[in-house]
Structure 1
Amino acid sequence: MVKKKRVFDIIQIGNANDWQSRLFDFGFIFMVLTNLFIAIFETFDSAQPYQSALDTIELITVLSFTAEYILRVWTAEYLYPALNRKQAVREYVLSFTGIVDLISFLPYYLPVFFPAGAVAFRMFRVIRILRLFRINAYYDAFNVIGDVIKSKKDQLLSSIFIILILMTSSSLAMYSLEHEVQPEVFRNAFSGFWWAVSTLLTVGYGDIYPITTAGRIFGIIITFLGVGMVAIPTGILSAGFVEQYTRLKSFNDYSLEADIRFVRLEVGENHPWIQQPVRDLPLPPGLILAVIQRRGDVVVPRGNTVIRQGDRLVLGAEGYRDDAGLTLKELTLRAQHLWVGQRIRDLDISRQTLIVMVRRNGRVLIPNGSLRLMPGDTVLLYTKRNISNTKNVDV
């Protein structure tokens, strides 16, 4: 199980202090970009002398993608710890990333069983570039786009629905106006739809256009409408980015912060806690194990986390910070704070910020995704962000 967890850490978590995990990340990105280069280079006549070498390189990368997919299925229970083994595998396989991972290598093998579809299957190679979206898990800047789209999905869907209705109605109208005059151009409603798409989206290919007076007047109206229609989703996304960065900037506006003092405990060779799960540790009331530092990694303790020799345990207190950039902060929520009333899994916080503990009315609550924050809660945060009006305390 230890080896299995280590495999999961390497393939799933990009940790700057874990050279094996970082090496895997860079190797994974290199293979995706190599596949993309091969797909582009093969379209040139000059690639023919190197075709056998290109095929060999593609085979190696596809085999690597296959092995990675198998390892991700094998370690799925660590990705979804709240689910059992079968449920975790199903959750990964049916997830967006799981489907992309599967499609990135499966079409390579399909021509063996379906030779007639070899050309169509090769088109799926472009799917491999979607695997680069995994870096969203490592960098907040890239993840902002996904967060904005998710938060504005209802408005975006509404605007897209309006655009589709306008495209459909204008295509039918233009077909009615131009079909008799240009039967070879506006052959059917789809021809009108092609014209409507290029006009409303302000592309204007020029391969199909109206020649009647009524058709041209209608085209002018649709062109003006198209400018406004395209601006709607653009404005929604722009507003989403502004709101996203405003929320991050106002992180401290309605909060009271205090430094927290922590005690660090070294787990030596003969320490009685070695190989003990966290749930069985003889911690006195009021003292909590907040964080475990293990070989440069920061481990958030769970009930089944096993203490190992060499671990550094951070217990209780205020404001601990070490040279690796680990900072623990205490945040008291006012009634107007953005987090009040939200579940922890719905919080809009940086991926470099983690809620370790919640203290409510003198009681210590272990945070989980369904815990709803209330006014007056004191939230213990692990963060690499700089938060103003705080003072670091040396242990």
Structure 2
Amino acid sequence: MSLHLREKVAAVLEETGQYQRLGRAVDIFLILLILANVIAIVLESEKALSQTYHSHFLRLEIISVSIFALEYVLRLWCCVDKIEYAQLKQPNWKKRLKYATSPLAVIDLIAILPTILMAFITFDLRFLRVIRLLRIFKLTRYSRAMQLLLAAFKEESSSLLAAFFIMSVVLIMASCGIYLIEHDIQPDKFGSIPKAMWWAMATLTTVGYGDSVPVTPLGQFFGGLITLLSMGMVAIPTGLLASSFAEQLRKRRDAFNEAILHALVDGEVDENERQHLEALRIELGLSPLEANQAIKLMTSQRVHHMYCRHCGKKL
């Protein structure tokens, strides 16, 4: 009985099978609750509003934390029925531990932990408010685009680390260079390498804050070189993420097309296969229009290959 119930809960939370609509309704409710929390936390930073509506803010916080805690416990309980964990040959407690250390589960925990800890530890309200604002990252679970971006970060992590390492080296070289050139002329702004790093950072990121600028001809020439160099440096991680993002989209479309071809083995897509494709579409973050176009294209290609292009007879 409990196993059957656990599978139902997993289906609702993951929006699969016959519980897609219910799961979608739950997701929309949680999204609205997260947005209400973020708005309330921002408004609560106004002292007048905090004093006037303190009881309302407290009531919303208690209700929200209770719901988020229930969601976290349910996800931790039924995660063993998710496809990625069900295939693992491990005890359920190890599967749950692996899920608990996943990025999305950690975000869910952060959403409820500050309020729970507040009952045992005294927090600075400003610090607590900022920590509670991290609940906005729970929206990552319900945004396929954010999941796609996180997948791009994960896939290009080594390349991004290499790019940031190169940028760090250039940052140190730029700081040392402007320090040697300008430290006698502007000791208050370039009197040490750590002070010069602020200018180097603002220049390399092409922000150009303007509070620290070289005044000597050699310093201005050096600053111009760093500015030109920064255009290429900033483009490296941007290009990596853009290409990886496009690659993630292509992989998801290819996975959906393969599922369509698998469903078309018998020549048509029945109702069960259509439901499976719909669940896969939601999981991959494809739009209904894009999915329907893919189904029509794969079906037409399948029909085309079933008949001889010379005589028109079925193969």
Q: Which residue of 2 aligns with 1:223?
A: 227
Verify: 1:198 aligned to 2:184, yes or no. no
1:134 shift after superposition: 0.8
Identical residues among aligned pairs (%): 29
Q: Establish whether residue 135 from structure 1 lines up as the match of residue 155 from structure 2.
A: no
The alpha-carbon distance between structure 1 residues 87 and 324, as it changes in their structure 2 partners (threshold 3 A), is: closer
Alignment partner, residue 286 of structure 2 = none
Matched residue SS, 1:210: coil
For residues 77-116 of structure 1, the aligned pairs below 5 Å read: 77-79=80-82, 80-81=85-86, 82=88, 83-116=90-123
Q: Distance in 1 between matches of 2:275 and 2:12?
A: 24
Given the two structures, how large is their TM-score scaled by the length of structure 1? 0.62
Name the structure where helix makes up a greater proportion of residues.
2
* 1:260-299 Cα deviation digits (max 9, x unpaired): 56xxxxxxxxxxxxxxxxxxxxxxxxxxxxxxxxxxxxxx
Residue 312 of structure 2 corresponds to none
Counterpart code for 1:156: L
Whether 1:154 and 2:161 are equivalent positions in the alignment is: no
CA–CA separation in structure 2 for the residues paired with 1:26 and 1:259: 30
- The 1:76–1:37 alpha-carbon spacing in structure 2 relative to 1, beyond 3 Å, is same
Q: Work out whether residues 256 and 280 of structure 2, in 8 Å CA contact, stay in contact via their aligned partners in 1.
A: no
Distance 1:15 1:183 in 2: 68
Structure 2 counterpart SS, 1:75: helix
Report deviation, 1:113.
2.7
Q: 2:140, 2:49 → 1: CA distance?
A: 29
Task: Check 1:78–1:187 CA distance in 2 against 1; reply closer, same or farther (3 A cut).
Answer: farther
Q: Which runs of 5+ in 1 are unaligned?
A: 262-317, 330-349, 355-382
- Conserved? CA contact 2:99–2:105, under 8 Å: yes
Structure 1 residues 117 and 247: CA distance shift in structure 2, 3 A:
closer
Equivalent in the alignment of 2:267 = 319
1:88-141 deviations in Å (ceiling 9; x for gaps):
1210111111111111110123233331544323321222111111124xx4x5
Change beyond 3 A, Cα 1:179–1:51 = farther
Task: Classify the secondary structure of the residue corresponding to 1:321.
Answer: coil
Letter in 1 for 2:153: I
User: Structure 2: which amino acid aligns with 1:199?
Assistant: T
Deviation at 1:199, TM superposition (A): 0.7
Q: CA deviation at 1:247?
A: 5.8
Structure 2: how far apart are the matches of 1:157 and 1:233?
9
Matched, 1:119 2:126: yes
Aligned partners of 1:42 and 1:219: how far apart in 2? 44
Residue aligning to 1:25: 27
- Secondary structure (helix, strand or coil) at the match of 2:220 reads helix
1:341-371 residue CA offsets vs partner (Å, 9 max, x unmatched): xxxxxxxxx94399xxxxxxxxxxxxxxxxx
Name the residue aligned to 1:390.
Answer: 302
Do structure 1's residue 71 and structure 2's residue 82 form an aligned pair?
Answer: no
Quote the Cα distance in structure 1 between the aligned partners of 2:79 and 2:263.
38
Q: 1:156·1:233 contact (CA, 8 Å) conserved in 2? A: yes
**Would the aligned equivalents of 1:14 and 1:22 in 2 still touch at CA under 8 Å?**
no
1:250-329 aligned within 5 A: 318-323=266-271, 326=274
Q: Are the equivalent residues in 1 in contact too, given 2:256–2:281 (CA < 8 A)?
A: no
* Equivalent residues, number: 284
In the TM superposition, what is the alpha-carbon distance from 1:241 to its structure 2 partner? Answer: 4.2
Tell me the residue number matched to 2:53: 50
Residues 1:323 and 1:253: Cα distance change in structure 2 (over 3 Å): closer
Q: Which amino acid aligns with 1:134?
A: R
**Aligned partners of 1:15, 1:198: CA distance in 2, in Å?**
51
Contact 1:10-1:21 within 8 A present in 2 as well: yes
* Structure 2 unaligned spans of 5+: 284-290, 305-315
SS in 2 for 1:115: coil
Of 241-250 and 210-219, deviating more is 241-250
**Pair 188,52 (structure 1): closer, same or farther in 2 beyond 3 Å:** farther
Query: CA shift at 1:143, angstroms?
Result: 4.2
C-alpha deviations, 1:164-221, integer Å up to 9, x for none?
A: 2111221232233333333332354332222111111111111222233332222111
What is the Cα-based RMSD across aligned positions, in Å? 3.5
